[in-house]
Amino acid sequence: MKLAVLFSGGKDSILALYKAKMENEIVCLISIFSENKESYMFHTPNISLVKKQSKALGLPILIQKTKGEKEKELADLEKAIQTAVKKYKIEGVVTGAVASNYQYSRIKNISEKLNLKCINPLWQKDQIDVLKDLLKNNFKAIIVGVFAYPFGKEWLGREIDEKAIKELAELQKKFRINPAGEGGEIETFVLDMPMFKKKLKVINSQIKYENYTGVFEIKKMKLEKK
C-alpha cells in the first residue's frame, strides 16, 4: 500500500514511519507548519528542519502552512492529504499518535472522508516501551522542547538514552507526566535512524528557557556521512 506519513521530525512520527515501512511503501512525507506554537494538533519546535530529514530519508515532502487555529487547522491538514492523493496516489496515511484521542480521532475522520486507510503503528503502546523501541532500533533523538513541571533547562538538547528513559519513568511515577510527551510535556527531534542515508549533526543551537518552558532551537545543522 502506498502511504504518506504525517511528519513532524519528532520520534513518534519517524518511529511510525519506520514500522509502517516494513509492510508498505512510503511515497511521501506531509508536514504542517503552524504559526501557533500552542497548536493542539501539530509539533512546532524546529519544524522547518524536516526538510533536512526528508533529504536524509530520500523522500519527497509536502509542506502545508496553517495559522494553527483550533479545528480550523484540520482543513489545512485535509488539503495537504488531498495533494498527496493527487500527486503520489497514496492509499493511506501514517500517524505517530500514541495516546492523544484528540489527534487520533481527527486524523482518522479525515482519512475516512477521503477513503484512505489510517495507519497508527504506535497507538495505545506503553510510552516507556515506545522510548525503548527507539534505542532498540538505533534511533538518535534529542529533546528540543519542554513545556511542563518538573522539566528543567538541562533536558533541552539531551539525547534520549537509557539514563534519560529511566529518569522519565521515575518522573512518571512521581509527577504523573507522560514519559513520551503525549501530554505535550516534551518535544523531540530525530538526528539519525536506520532509514537515514546520512545523519544530521547540530552545528549551532540556542536554548530559550523560563518557568519550566523552553526550546532547544537548532540554528544550523548539516548532513554528514554515517
Residue 69's pLDDT is 82
H or E segment and range at residue 51 = helix 50-57
Q: What are the tens digits of pLDDT across the range 49-64?
A: 999 999 999 999 999 9
Mean pLDDT, the chain, integer: 95
- Tracing cell 540556542 back to the chain, one arrives at 206
Average pLDDT value for residue range 194-212 = 97
Packed helices 162-175 and 127-136: angle between N→C axes, nearest 10 degrees: 180
Q: Which fold has domain 139-224?
A: putative n-type atp pyrophosphatase, domain 2 (3.90.1490)
- Tracing cell 539531551 back to the chain, one arrives at 158
pTM attached to this predicted model: 0.95
Q: What are the tens digits of pLDDT across the range 97-133?
A: 999 898 899 999 999 999 999 999 999 999 999 999 9
42 pLDDT band (50/70/90 cuts)? Answer: confident
Residue 35's pLDDT is 83
**Is residue 184 predicted with pLDDT exceeding 70?**
yes
43 pLDDT band (50/70/90 cuts)? Answer: low
- Tracing cell 503552524 back to the chain, one arrives at 34
Residue 45's pLDDT is 80
- Burial code (b: 16+ CB inside 10 Å, e: under 16) for 24-38 equals bebbbbbbbebeeee
Domains of the chain by residue range:
2-119, 139-224
Give the separation between CA 112 and CA 185, rounded to whole angstroms. 30
Give the separation between CA 205 and CA 194, rounded to whole angstroms. 25
Q: What are the tens digits of pLDDT across the range 64-98?
A: 999 878 778 899 999 999 999 999 999 999 999 99
pLDDT above 90 as % of the chain: 88
Give the separation between CA 57 and CA 196, rounded to whole angstroms. 5
Tell me the CA end-to-end span of the chain in Å, nearest whole number. 30
**Is residue 135 predicted with pLDDT exceeding 80?**
yes
Q: Which fold has domain 2-119?
A: Rossmann fold (3.40.50)
Name the DSSP class of 159: B
Residue 109's pLDDT is 97
pLDDT above 70 as % of the chain: 98
Residue 74's pLDDT is 92
CA 48 to chain centre: 12
Give the separation between CA 7 and CA 63, rounded to whole angstroms. 10
**Is residue 20 predicted with pLDDT exceeding 80?**
yes
Cα three-residue angle 43-44-45, rounded to 5 degrees:
115
Average pLDDT value for residue range 136-152 = 97
